[in-house]
Structure 1
Amino acid sequence: MTTYFTSDMHFGHANIIRFCDRPFGGVGHMNARLAELWNDTVSDDDTVWVLGDVALGALDDSLSWIARLSGHKILVPGNHDRCWAGDRGLRKGSPEARAERREKARARYLAAGFAEIHDDPGRFRIAGIDAAVSHFPFTGDSHGEDRYVDYRPADDGGWVLHGHVHDTWRQRDRQLNVGVDAWGGRPVAVDRLAALVDAGRRDLEPLPWDEPETPGPS
């Protein structure tokens, strides 16, 4: 049994192909390849922490891919997830109406295949230290100035496992980006992240996407 981390799959989101230069001809190709890479990496006995931004587009169709993914799946919502605490649709109306919409949104993701949803997962023990776990890094963004500052973890001098920045970096100082755009499209095992923590503070570029070799002429 292995624990993995990932984020920012963006199932169903055609524009992410262009935004992050993903090597796909269309959203159907991307969805299928993301699922293939996941299931080639993760077994049913494994646990995967998904640090947000699961699906966009036609949400029911996009979320349907979650049930096809192996393992025990835990969601830490990001800013593109309808069950995220900061979602504008969940902050309107009376407290009762907000609570009802929030529960309906959470139920939608649980029904899609997530076993758990953790709005504030706290910390995760890795390489002998307790790292923060969040969709957001301490600082930095994929769109210029830092967004969603109120939802970011406090930088206490430790490490953070995060997503949100896509292909901006794989490691920046004490920030480890677990997103698919940094790890060749695959979830990353916790022992690989622990090795980065052990190696210390540095900056690392994203890995290339893991694409099958094109067969030559027979």
Structure 2
Amino acid sequence: MQYFTADTHFFHEQLLGNNDFAPRPFKNVAAMNQAIIDAWNARVSDKDVVYHLGDIAMHPSNYPGNDEVFEILKQLNGQIIFIKGNHDNRDLFKFLAKHNWDVFPDKPKFRFHDVGVLIKMNHFQFFMTHYPMMMGIVKQTMNLHGHIHHSSVPIAEDINVGIDTPETVFLKDPPPFGTPFSEAELFAMYAGKKAYLIKNKPFNKYD
């Protein structure tokens, strides 16, 4: 199976409690980190692939040590493909590559991309990037992204897969906080968002 997530922001103390950006109701970063690990591992097995679309971890004033991040990431099930976010640095990617291992023969634990990845599923193309893309008129194409946390781009084909995304409102049974999204959940969010925007889209004068 393939799963999708972004903006885990491990160690990010400033997100704790109530804030206008990405409120996370945990007493400390250890509790937040563990909640994400537990939710991730409840869904993902080592045979699965998870696309992480950037912003792995950060401290308020500086990036956490590479060894700290590695200790978290090696607890996560699955093979993880990272797309670089604005709070990720190449030094971390180099550290993870140096300490990488094969989950299965020729299946490394970590893989890395600086900008984005394109895959195909169920007759759709998925452009996976950290920042949301403005794709214009498309057909059977979605942009999976993170970066904007609790915000939603008013375009049905732009799906925020970050763990703070508000687009879980379109899911009948939203998964626990920190759970990577499944292919079925992506299509459910897309269908729900598309129907909502058709009904509530006053900004397009040509409709």
If the length of structure 1 is used for normalisation, what is the TM-score?
0.68
Match 1:174 to one of 157, 168, 171: 157
Which moves more between the two structures, 3-12 or 13-22?
13-22
2:80 corresponds to: 73
Structure 1 vs Structure 2 CA RMSD: 2.5
2:65 corresponds to: 59
1:8 corresponds to: 7
Which moves more between the two structures, 179-188 or 65-74?
179-188
2:93 corresponds to: 106
Identity within the alignment, % = 30
Alpha-carbon shift at residue 189 of structure 1 (Å): 0.8
Q: Gaps (5+ residues) in structure 1?
A: 84-103, 140-153, 205-218
CA distance in 1 between counterparts of 2:154 and 2:49 reads 22
Match 1:129 to one of 124, 128, 142: 124
1:164 corresponds to: 147
CA distance in 2 between counterparts of 1:31 and 1:68 reads 11
1:25-62 alpha-carbon deviations (Å, 9 max, x no partner): 11111111111111111111110000000011223323
Q: Gaps (5+ residues) in structure 2?
A: 101-108, 169-176, 198-207
Q: Secondary structure in 1 aligned to 2:3?
A: strand
CA distance in 1 between counterparts of 2:154 and 2:38 reads 25
CA distance in 2 between counterparts of 1:82 and 1:14 reads 19
Structure 1 counterpart of 2:69, one-letter code: S
1:69-95 alpha-carbon deviations (Å, 9 max, x no partner): 000011001000012xxxxxxxxxxxx
Q: Could you say which structure has the higher strand fraction?
A: 2
CA distance in 2 between counterparts of 1:112 and 1:38 reads 21
Alpha-carbon shift at residue 23 of structure 1 (Å): 1.3
2:204 corresponds to: none
Alpha-carbon shift at residue 202 of structure 1 (Å): 4.6
Structure 2 counterpart of 1:106, one-letter code: F
**Conserved in 2, the CA contact under 8 Å of 1:5 and 1:50?**
yes
Paired residue total: 169
Q: How does 1:188-199 map to 2 (within 5 A)?
A: 188-197=181-190
C-alpha distance 111-15 of structure 1, shift in aligned 2 (>3 A): farther
